[in-house]
Amino acid sequence: MKIIVDNKIPFIREAAEHVADEVVYAPGHEFTPELVKDADALIIRTRTRCDRHLLEGSSVRFIATATIGFDHIDTEYCRQAGIQWANAPGCNAPSVAQYLHSVLLLLQMKRDKPLAGLTLGIVGVGHVGSLIAEVGSDMGMKVLLNDPPREEQEGPGRFCPLSQLAEESDILTFHVPLVRTGNYPTFHLADEDFFRSLRRKPVFINTSRGEVHDTQALLSALAEGRIADAVIDVWENEPDIDRNLLQQALIGTPHIAGYSADGKANASRMALTAVCKFFGIKPDFHIAPPKPLNPVITAANETEAYLQMYDPRRDSEALKAHPEQFEQLRGDYPLRRERQAYLFRHV
C-alpha cells in the first residue's frame, strides 16, 4: 500500500511507515495529479484541495484529513468517484479552548478587572464551542449559545438566535464550519448587516474559518467603533492575508489556535487510524507529543500560570512583524503543550 502524507503533519512518520509499504511525504500545496496517481490513500491538511483535478484517473481510494474541517475536500466528487474520506472531529478542540482561555485572560488584564458578569456569545457549539462555554462559565461569564443545526435537532431551550447574541454579547466568538450552501450557510455570516446589528461594542473573535467573516465589513466595524477589538486566527485568502486587519487586530495569529502538540498528535492518530480501518489494517502504532522543555510552571496566580503555558501575544507579534511568513510560521510552529503536560507551583 502506498500513502502520500503532507510533510507538515507531525509525529506521524514512524507510525505511517509501520502501516504502509510505501510512504511519500510532500508539502500540502505540492500535491499534484502526477504525485498521487498511484497512491492508495492520502493524509492531508487544509492546504491540499482534493477535487476532480487532483484525483481523476488516480488509484486513490481513501483520503484522511488531519483536521476538523473538510471544506478542502470536494465531497460530491469523491462520492461520485467512489473515494471515501474521513476528517478528525474534535481533535484540536482542547487546543482551541486553550487559545481562547489565554485570550480571555489577556482581555481581563486589559480591562484590569474580572470578566465575571460579562456576556460571552458563542456561535457554533460543537466540540470546540462546548469547551469554550465551560471556560466562560468557569470565569463567571453569562454564556449565550447559537447553533441553528443543533437547535433544529435538539429543540429550543439551550440556544439563542444570532440576533440576541448581537444585542447582548460583550465578547463574540465563532466556532462554526465553513458552509456555503444549504439551510445554514456560514460564509460571511459576520457581514456588514451583522456588524451593524451589534449593540454593546463587543470584542470579535474568529478561530473557525476566515471566510466566516467579511474582511471589509470587519474593518469597517473597527473603524466605526462597532466592535472594541478583534482577535483573528483565521483569514480570508490565506496565506495572502489582509495586512491592514492584521495590524489593527488586538491579536492576529497564523491559523494556529488548534496547533497544540496535543491536538496535532490527536489529529495524526485519528487520520492514520481511519486509514487502517478503511484498509482493514490493525492500528498497531503509537503517536504522542514530546514532553515540554519545562514541565513545571511556577507562578503567583492562575492567570500568570496559564499565560506562561501559552501566551498568544508571542504568535501575534511574530506574524505582525513578518506577515509574509504566514505559511512558515504556521508550518514550523513550535512545541506547545496543553494543561495536562504541566505541574503548577504557587509562589
Q: Return the active site residues.
A: 209, 238, 255
Separation of alpha carbons 305 and 264, rounded Å: 23
Neighbours of 94 (CB within 10 A): 21
Q: Distance (Å, rounded) from C-alpha 23 to C-alpha 299?
A: 45
Query: Any idea of the CA torsion for 161, 164, 169, 173, to the nearest 10 degrees?
Result: 20
φ/ψ of 115, rounded to 5, equals -80, -5
Rounded to whole angstroms, what are the CA distances from 84 to 31, 35, 42, 174, 314? Answer: 18, 19, 11, 29, 39
Dihedral class, residue 309 (left if φ above 0, else alpha if ψ from -120 to 50, else beta): alpha
Residue at 200: amino acid letter: R
Query: What whole-number distance in Å separates Cα of residue 194 and Cα of residue 197?
Result: 5
- Using alpha carbons only, what angle is made at residue 47 by residues 211 and 28, rounded to the nearest 5 degrees? 175
Pairing relationship of beta strands 171-174 and 119-123 according to DSSP bridges: parallel
Per the structure block, which three cell numbers stand in for 112? 484590569
* 306 Cβ contact list (under 8 Å, min separation 6): 101, 102, 105, 339
Q: Is the dihedral of CA 226, 228, 234, 236 positive or negative?
A: positive
Which set of grid coordinates corresponds to residue 6? Answer: 503532507
How far is the C-alpha of 202 from the C-alpha of 26, rounded, in Å? Answer: 42
